[in-house]
Amino acid sequence: MSLKKLSYVLPAALIMATGLSATAAPVTWSKDVMPVVQERCLNCHRPGQVAPFSLETFDQARPWAKAIREQVAAGKMPPYPGKPGEMGFHGDSNMTSEEIKTFTDWVDQGAKPGNPADLPPVKVFKSFEGGWVNRIPDIVLQPEHPFTVGADVSDLYYCFKIPFGVDQEMWLKGVEFQAGNSEVAHHFILFEDTSGAFDRVDAETPEPGCECADMGKLGGASIVAMWAPGNVAPLTPIGVGHKLTKGKDLILQAHYYNATGLEQVDHSSVALHLASPEETIDKRIRAMMVVQPNLNIKAGDPNSEHTAMFTAFKDLTMYSVGGHMHLRGKSISQTAKLPDSDRELLMLDIPEYDFDWQFTYPFEQPWKFPKGSKFIMRSIHDNSADNIHNPDPTKDVKWGLYSADEMAFTGGSSTFDDEKLGITPLALSDTDRARLAIRKKASTD
């Protein structure tokens, strides 16, 4: 994929007329660049996180200066492809034009360190024991066994059973993931095994777990949470939670992509943040999806457009939004049209879709929509030979679960405004807590 380079042209006549100097103001790492790095980059580019190198110091950043300039100028870094609309995103990592210019000017001027006295205070990242972001988890779970990802694995969806099966209904405030091996973990989805089908499917092969690009064979397991590198969802608002059904186990679907050329081992973790008995749960999180399953993408078509629409059948509140496509994905967006208006409100725009960076975008504030609101998804797929990620530009493509197939949907978490459950969550019983702790210990022995 070619990277676009920015050029800035300042005519000599303008310089003479305004008296401006042709020499840009000095830009240094210490005074100008490091504050932007702290705000936009260190979430990933520090020890223990997913980025391949650290940017905590000038000496760490200097060898990468030209590459950083190219990636920042092209909008590839930070990897946050979603653009907010009427409502901003919590944790938005998009750089401003001024921040981009700071990087490009710094490199163009020789990537100078500057005066160490100008450095901002060291940024301290909030984290809890174990490296968790939101708070100390109530329970941390893992698949029962580590998993070996073969050196030749390029596109593997694999499902692991995470025994949970507590003897009471539980309410979640949030889920966090920690990749055991960030070299190969592309993304995770946590499901609830609502049908109990996993054990039957797992028994078809001798090894623990099973390939599961086709989740249909697991009987319609319901999504609990999703993760991609650098993406940590905040906890749900007070009074809002995600229901976990009594007695049901969890399924972790891992998408592995191994480009290292070496055999890799992964043993990832899932942290559950449970609702406290002191909090009354009035509203249950539900997925609001705008899906176009009838894709018809012709061979060689560089701009295959599809749309879909969902109409709200009652007043609802949206907390997040996201979009999903596969390797031919080019762009995707979601808008909303209120019942009394023809104007479309932009909720999410991903003008340059990147399969490697799929996020859920939490809104800065919960966003209310009345009954009759229409949510519209628009997608474009590039099935031409110019798309270097295209597995086969000579093939017509339809909806499918493998990366060589395609998808197109947007949506996010929502609640119904008229719902008032009045549920007092139960704490995890001592029996279940001890049982799960034993399983966690056994899985790490």
Nearest alpha carbon to residue 255 among 180, 329, 154: 154
What does the alpha-carbon distance between residue 116 and residue 50 come to, in Å, rounded to a whole number? Answer: 27
Confidence of residue 259 (pLDDT cuts 50, 70, 90): confident
**With contact defined as beta carbons under 8 Å apart, do 169 and 426 qualify?**
yes
For 3-56, how does the pLDDT look when each residue is reduced to its tens digit (9 = 90+)?
333 333 323 333 333 333 445 689 999 999 999 999 999 988 988 777 779 999
Two structure tokens written together for 263: 């055999």
Q: Say how far apart CA 314 and CA 369 lie, in whole Å.
A: 9
The answer, yes or no, to whether residue 316 has pLDDT greater than 50, is yes
**Size of the chain, expressed as the number of residues it contains:** 445
Cα angle value 300/305/308 (rounded, 5°): 145
Q: Are 338 and 370 in contact (CB under 8 A)?
A: yes
pLDDT value for 1: 38
Query: What long-range pairs does 257-262 form, CB within 8 A, spacing at least 24?
Result: 257/153, 257/154, 257/155, 257/156, 257/184, 257/186, 258/149, 258/150, 258/151, 258/152, 258/153, 258/154, 258/183, 258/184, 259/154, 260/151, 260/183, 260/184, 261/151, 262/151
Q: What element of type H or E holds 227?
A: strand 222-227
Q: What are phi and psi of 233, to 5 degrees?
A: -80, 140
Confidence of residue 220 (pLDDT cuts 50, 70, 90): low
Residue appearing with tokens 């009394």: 340
Angle at 153 between CA 147 and CA 154, to 5 degrees: 130
To the question of pTM greater than 0.85 for the whole model, the response is: no
Percent pLDDT > 70 in the chain is: 91
Residue 401 pLDDT > 90, yes or no?
no
Both ends of the chain: CA-CA distance in Å?
44
More confident residue, 115 or 438: 115
List domains and CATH numbers for the chain: 12-118 (no CATH), 139-282+423-444 (2.60.120), 286-416 (2.60.120.230)
